[in-house]
Amino acid sequence: MSVGCAAPLIGGEYAVLSTGFRIPAERHEVADGVVRLYLKNGVTELPVAAVARFEADDYVAPPAAPAPPRVDPPLPASDARTLIQEAAVRTGLPLALVESVARVESGLRPEAVSSKGALGVMQLMPATAKALDADPRDPAQNIDAGARLLRELLIKYDGDVVKALSAYNAGAGAVDRYRGMPPYAETRSYVDKVIRTYVKAGGK
């Protein structure tokens, strides 16, 4: 991988993580083993080892591999991490990504309730949970629905993890309106925390 210091590219670029996820950036710099990505609404830093390569934003990625076949889960478990593992298998998402979202959202606490009324491990709003045909107060349904939502957003945004996480936090409407991560301090902080947690976990 060539990760030397880079000047801005016309139209920007994508940092492709070792997991295959892509992060849009206006430019990047590399120093002391750290890649600094200048995003539209902020800056985030990742270890050099977490970035596989950079691509111009007009790069056309090859078709994504199909998701693995659905696997029927074992009997429900009370342990949040076990439920997250099962949901990751069912949706074909990396375990570390689903768990990172859950950790940042709720600290893996099924009883968590936000000031805005979001519920459970994956912090689903009641209306969102209803649309996903899930009971947000049931840990298994909450985690399953959150993982399904995350997968839908990654598909909607062609694997752009920043847009997907931004939409999970602020809603797809906000992401579409701003054509990327909204300029909300809460959303910028949220996306940065999830990506850092994901990379720290090894991105697997």
Whether 8 is covered by a domain: the verdict is no
From CA 180, how far away is CA 184, in angstroms rounded? 11
Residues 6-21, mean pLDDT to the nearest whole number: 68
Whether 163 is covered by a domain: the verdict is yes
Domain total of the chain: 1
Which of 48-52, 56-60, 76-80 shows the lowest mean pLDDT across its residues?
76-80
58 near 65, Cβ under 8 Å? no
Catalytic residue among 55, 105, 152, 186: 105
Instruction: Name the residue with higher pLDDT: 59 or 133.
Output: 133
pLDDT score at 3: 47
Whether 38 is covered by a domain: the verdict is no
Whether 37 is covered by a domain: the verdict is no
Check pLDDT > 90 for residue 33: no
All residues at 6 or more sequence positions from 4 whose CB lies less than 8 Å from its CB, including other chains? 30
Residue 157's domain comprises: 80-200
The mean pLDDT value of the chain amounts to 86
45 is catalytic: no
Give the model's confidence band at 63: pLDDT under 50 very low, under 70 low, under 90 confident, else very high: low
What's the CATH code of the domain at 107? Answer: 1.10.530.10
From CA 172, how far away is CA 157, in angstroms rounded? 10
